[in-house]
Structure 1
Amino acid sequence: MREDFDNSYARLPDRFYSRLVPTAVASPQVLRVNEPLARELGLDPSALTAEVLSGNALLPGTDPLAQVYAGHQFGGWVPRLGDGRAILLGEITGDFGRRDIQLKGSGITPYSRNGDGRAWVGPVMREYIVSEAMHALGIPTTRALGAALTGEGVQRERRYPGAVLTRVAASHIRVGTFQYFAARGDSAGLRLLLDHCIARHYPQADGPLSFLSEVAAAQARLIARWMSVGFIHGVMNTDNMAVSGETIDYGPCAFMDAYHPRTVFSSIDQQGRYAFQEQPNMAVWNLAQLATSLLPLMDGDPEHAAEEATRVLENFATQFSPEWMQLFRAKIGLTTQEDGDEALITGLLARMASSQADFTATFSALTNGKARDHITDNGAWASWAPNWRARISREPGDPKATMRAANPVLIPRNHRVEEAIQAGIGGDYAPFHRLVDALARPFDPLADDLDLAAPPRPDERVLRTFCGT
């Protein structure tokens, strides 16, 4: 077992965090260990025991702490948030760079805000399933190293089995971390945080403006990838946007079944602030809060600095659109560019919306000539398909191979995730393990897993998701 844990964040001043150890649990049991990820990190999977995954025992060299941050939640400012149920154990370094190891559900911290600091098994299973599926889809994300049952109950609307997730991330620094120090007028803290993030994530950046540009570019790439698989984060608050460009904090997240750009799943998003089509706009809104936080560090006239930061934000669309186009071109079998491609793609999406076509199944069906079974609105397929066939006939490569590589067959279907959670509440974790295993092969699933690809029946549809912490 490696003993070279570090914690560079702990070398920042103590106003950045609170040092504490996880609260012990009664009777921990291993729910799952991500053995391939453990080996990638140089960890011995057999050392990830129930005691370690629950926080009852600490690996040598860890230096646990809870990070402080602030944030806008659904547009409302909250001046002090922080890790209310998570503890950063430390960091592992290697050829992969530097990775945080964090426990979620590990007990009360100074930032728990009257919460119990615990997690119940449902959200732990959801984050494990979805974050590992996102990784398999090639989307930057935090990852699940393991999960443990605590042997204790957690009281929410009822009493549920408790659990702890061990999460891995490039870092857990958020837009809200910068907001915390900016709101306090702590320019020295802001500078230390900026220097730390540049050294860790964007060494090519030479100051606050170029750092903002790098974060914006990373977010443009990330959100385009979300859109390409029909993913809805559900709670894009500034405290849930990692400056590393990874997907973080899987609360009321979901993958669309029937496509519509205004789709919302989160039970707390009553106004559709974080609807599917709004995600690029909300990324810009969040980046604007980061820009505002960084303004005190920008050299020269404040008005000029604001203008420069605004130009970075205005450039988001020019970064996002080419990423989106490249991904969606591939989804319809294109690798080259022609002027009519965007109209072809948006035309298909419009027909999918009018037909209430399943997002994943429709794109997957393009490769086998069965997409017409999904585009059912009167005349919709017949009015689109000839132009598409003419376009892919001009492709130099193999359009079907392009589509197979771009269109997953398996995603974490909401009803399947809920099925696994409900089984887990009852003590049956077989559906959870099966789903995690199957989703590791989203583009080429085993034949025995193809039932997991089917869209939900009307009585299986999940219309609302919950933070469920």
Structure 2
Amino acid sequence: MTLHIPFQARYAALPDRFHARLAPTPVAKPGLVKVNHGLARELGLDPAMLETPDGLALLAGNTVPDSATPVAQAYAGHQFGGWNPALGDGRAILLGELTDQTGHLRDVQLKGSGPTPFSRMGDGRAGLGPVLREYILSEAMHALGVPTTRALAAVTTGEIVLRETPLPGAVLTRIAASHLRVGTFQYFAARGDTEALQTLVAFAIARHDPQAEGALGLLTGVIARQARLIARWMSLGFIHGVMNTDNMTISGETIDYGPCAFMEAYDPKTVYSSIDQFGRYAYANQPEIAVWNLAQLATSLLPVIDANRDRAVEVATEAVQGFADAYEAAWLQEFRAKLGLATADDTDGPLITGFLKLMAEAGVDFTLAFRALGEDLSVARELWPNPEVFDAWADQWSTRLAAENATPQSARTALKAANPAFIPRNHRVEEAIQHAMSGDYSVFERLVAVLETPFADQPQNEDLMAPAQPHEAVQATFCGT
């Protein structure tokens, strides 16, 4: 193989109980779907090189560079509140880490790369649909300013995977600040392996919190990042759909784009995930679930926070309780920006919640309602079945803007910079996937291109702004496993 990729093996250098060493399982006939040129350059890679036969072989897992030390990572997790002590990478292989152009380490992982010791009788493969879905959603989230794992490439395998129906197989190359999860710490805590916990804490601090003092400092950093992340999700109407502890990262990045979705008509109780039968991960529940997950992390860290368990419980509890204030501050900051407000005022909370309440009562599209605030107010009024209700709220909003010596018109630039015109609407994602299944990637390519600049006016693509018509609506989203 002629490719030289300067992989490092930081995680692979950890003791054997942290991972299983194995190479990806080669596929029959790899085919290139897409290479993310911008991300490749961020990683110091030549995108044209990745599109060569040698590059394709790497992205499919058919060849492994000499510099790579491929491993499947071990972790545990609570899934819908139920404990599973041994999950791990059942269909993913970490090739190693790269130092990007800003000097940060980034994981390079192949997802759908074949079975591992953690596969639990699964085939370790991924279908084309879930791979394209993760590509679209993760790159859209990045463009929307959300911390997230990213997609470097998608390739087909020339093989069929069996789910409810036979599907074309594919592999996603996923890039992350790291793949450390709450569940990684749970894995060793459940085994009483304090030595491994100490090693993992040191590794995580070096990777994500160099200034942190010990396990408590790490926990505090994770809490702060998750507060900001969840507030950002909420400001965009994003519903993760499967906030299990193995899907909460230490880095504060969004990970796992299986049953996630962007809400259209605003309803705090919205659930899309086909497996979330009781609404555990509904839109409005996401902050509460984040606290629950962080409590599991705190519990896992108790043995390395303080030798005195009572003292460890006290300080860890205090840290987790700090999420509420951090989240509220981040939520207010996000939604103030969505209303074009540059300063803080005690009336902002009621102003924001009042607008959301009206949206819920009228069933107005979340994204369009906020985006329309950056247009002439006559445009915004047209979204409301009862415009007089909107008018009454808009009067309050205008008064609040006036206190900042602003008007809806003068705040227009700020409003458009805070409120996207384009999100990956569920029916558009499904449309792109269905066309790709028949070999037509043009719909996928167009959607990805439009979502690269979600805050820009794109008159030629206004059809992608519209909510689903009743016959287009996607009622449920699914895991890709």
Question: What TM-score bracket applies, with the shorter chain setting the length?
Answer: over 0.9
- Assess if the C-alpha contact under 8 Å between 1:29 and 1:150 holds in 2: yes
Select the residue among 145, 157, 161 that pairs with 2:164.
Answer: 157
What pairs with 1:303-322 in structure 2 (closer than 5 Å)?
303-322=310-329
- Structure 2 partner of 1:178: 185
Separation of aligned partners in 2, 1:377 and 1:70: 50
C-alpha distance in 1 between matches for 2:383 and 2:319: 40
The aligned counterpart of 1:323 is 330
Aligned to 2:9: 7
Could you tell me which amino acid in structure 2 is paired with residue 339 of structure 1? Answer: D
Partner of 1:196: 203
Cα deviation, 1:266-296, whole Å, max 9, x if unaligned, reads: 0100111000011111010000000000001
Q: Give 1:53 shift.
A: 1.2
Partner of 2:263: 256
Equivalent in the alignment of 1:140: 147
Quote the sequence identity (%): 59
Q: Distance in 2 between matches of 1:181 and 1:47?
A: 40
Which amino acid in the other structure matches residue 50 of structure 1?
Answer: L
Q: How does 1:303-382 map to 2 (within 5 A)?
A: 303-368=310-375, 369=377, 370-377=379-386, 379-382=388-391
The residue identity in structure 1 corresponding to 2:394 is A
Q: Residue 86 of structure 2 is aligned with which of 68, 80, 90?
A: 80
3-state DSSP of counterpart to 1:88: strand
CA contact under 8 A between 2:423 and 2:451: conserved in structure 1? yes
Amino acid in the other structure paired with 2:380:
A
- Do the aligned residues in 1 keep the contact of 2:154 with 2:171 (CA within 8 Å)? yes
**Which residue of structure 1 lines up, in the alignment, with residue 424 of structure 2?**
412
Separation (CA, whole Å) in 2 of partners of 1:345 and 1:152: 50
Aligned equivalents of 1:400, 1:378: Cα separation in 2: 20
Per-residue Cα deviation, 1:335-382 (whole angstroms, up to 9, x for no partner)? 111211110100000000001000001100111112222232474213
Higher deviation after alignment, 266-275 or 383-392: 383-392
Q: CA deviation at 1:9?
A: 0.5
Partner of 2:474: 462
Q: Indicate if the aligned counterparts of 1:148 and 1:164 stay in contact, CA closer than 8 A.
A: yes
Q: d(CA) in 2 for partners of 1:406 and 1:108?
A: 42
Q: Which residue number in structure 2 is paired with residue 432 of structure 1?
A: 444
Tell me by how many angstroms 1:50 deviates.
2.0
Letter in 1 for 2:71: L
- Residue 286 (1) aligns with residue 293 (2): yes
Aligned to 1:443: 455
Paired residue secondary structure (2:132): helix
Q: Does the CA contact (< 8 Å) of 2:142 and 2:150 recur in 1?
A: yes
1:271 maps to amino acid: F
* Aligned-residue offset at 1:4: 2.0
CA deviations over 1:61-98 (Å, ceiling 9, x no partner): 11100001000000000010000000000000142400
Q: Which runs of 5+ in 1 are unaligned?
A: none
Aligned ranges 1:271-282 → 2 under 5 Å: 271-282=278-289
- For each residue in 1:202-225, what CA deviation from the matched residue of structure 2 results, as whole angstroms up to 9, or x when unmatched? 011111111100000000010000
Aligned residue for 1:246, secondary structure, equals coil
- Correspondence 1:207 to 2:209: no
1:89 aligns with 2:95: yes
Cα displacement (A) at 1:300? 4.2
Q: Does 1:224 align with 2:217?
A: no
User: Counterpart in 2 of 1:17?
Assistant: 19
Gaps of 5+ in 2: none
Per-residue deviation, 1:383 = 2.6
| Alignment equivalent of 1:388, drawn from 394, 397, 407 | 397
Distance 1:50 1:157 in 2: 28
Structure 2 equivalent of residue 47 of structure 1: 49
Query: Distance between the aligned counterparts of 1:137 and 1:83, measured in 2?
Result: 28
- Return the alpha-carbon distance in structure 2 between the equivalents of residues 343 and 372 of structure 1: 21
What is aligned with 2:130?
123
Q: Which amino acid aligns with 1:249?
A: D
Matches of 1:142 and 1:301 in 2, distance apart?
A: 37
Give the residue type in structure 1 aligned to 2:110. Answer: L
Structure 1 residue aligned with 2:108: 101
The equivalent residue for 1:32 is: 34
CA–CA separation in structure 2 for the residues paired with 1:356 and 1:323: 25
Contact 1:230 1:359 in 2 (8 A): yes
CA contact (8 A) 2:131 2:154 kept: yes
* Whole-angstrom distance in 2 between the partners of 1:114 and 1:445: 48
Offset, 1:17: 0.3
2:359, 2:142 → 1: CA distance?
26
What's the TM-score, normalizing by structure 1? 0.98
| Structure 1 residue 394, shift from structure 2 partner | 2.3
Distance 1:377 1:263, change over 3 A: farther
Single out whichever of 41-50 and 280-289 deviates more from structure 2: 41-50
Tell me the CA shift for residue 299 of structure 1: 2.0
For residues 299 and 345 of structure 1, the distance between their equivalents in structure 2, rounded to whole angstroms, comes to 41
Deviation at 1:59, TM superposition (A): 3.1
Instruction: In structure 2, give the amino acid aligned to 1:371.
Output: A
Q: Aligned pair in 2 of structure 1 residues 7, 385: CA closer, same or farther (>3 Å)?
A: same
* AA partner of residue 5 (structure 1): F
Number of equivalent positions: 469
Structure 1 counterpart SS, 2:440: coil
Q: Secondary structure at the match of 1:460?
A: coil
Question: Is 2:381–2:387's contact at 8 Å kept on the other side of the alignment?
Answer: no
Q: 1:241 to 1:208 in 2, by over 3 A?
A: same
Cα distance in 2 for partners of 1:123, 1:257 equals 21
User: Structure 1 pair 416/96, CA: closer, same or farther in 2 (3 Å)?
Assistant: farther
Q: CA deviation at 1:233?
A: 0.4
Distance change (3 Å), C-alpha of 1:291 and 1:50: same
Offset, 1:443: 0.3
